């Protein structure tokens, strides 16, 4: 994710997700809190919790996200 980019705030009705940072710093707004994750750190987000991912840093953010069950068709934008 390039610097200055972000996702739209959303939730997943059934899918839980785990974000894991490989490079850069991820800012994740989740459950009324803001989390800053550096490389090697991750965050679990339960189903039904509104969240958004931002890259406030000056370098590209590289991360993985694992969804279970798969989140295709399960996203609700807020």
Is the confidence at residue 73, as pLDDT, over 90?
A: yes
Overall size of the chain counted in residues: 78
Indicate if the pLDDT at residue 34 is higher than 90: yes
Q: What pLDDT was estimated at residue 61?
A: 98
What pLDDT does 2 receive? 98
* pTM: predicted TM-score of the whole model, two decimal places: 0.94
The answer on pLDDT for 40 being more than 90 is: yes
Share of the chain above pLDDT 90, in %: 99
Residue 31 binned pLDDT confidence (cut-offs 50, 70, 90): confident
Strands in the chain per DSSP E: 10-12, 16-23, 26-30, 33-37, 42-45, 51-54, 62-68, 75-77
**How many Cβ atoms are within 10 Å of 53's Cβ, its own excluded?**
24
CATH topology of domain 10-77: Jelly Rolls (2.60.120)
């Amino acid at each position: 994710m390039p610097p200055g980019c972000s996702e739209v705030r959303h939730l997943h009705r059934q899918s839980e997700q785990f974000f894991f940072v490989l490079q850069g710093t991820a800012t994740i707004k989740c459950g009324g809190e803001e989390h800053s994750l550096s490389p090697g750190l991750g965050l679990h987000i339960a189903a039904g919790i509104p969240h958004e991912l931002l890259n406030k840093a000056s370098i590209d953010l590289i991360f993985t996200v694992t969804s279970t069950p798969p989140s295709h068709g399960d996203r609700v934008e807020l």
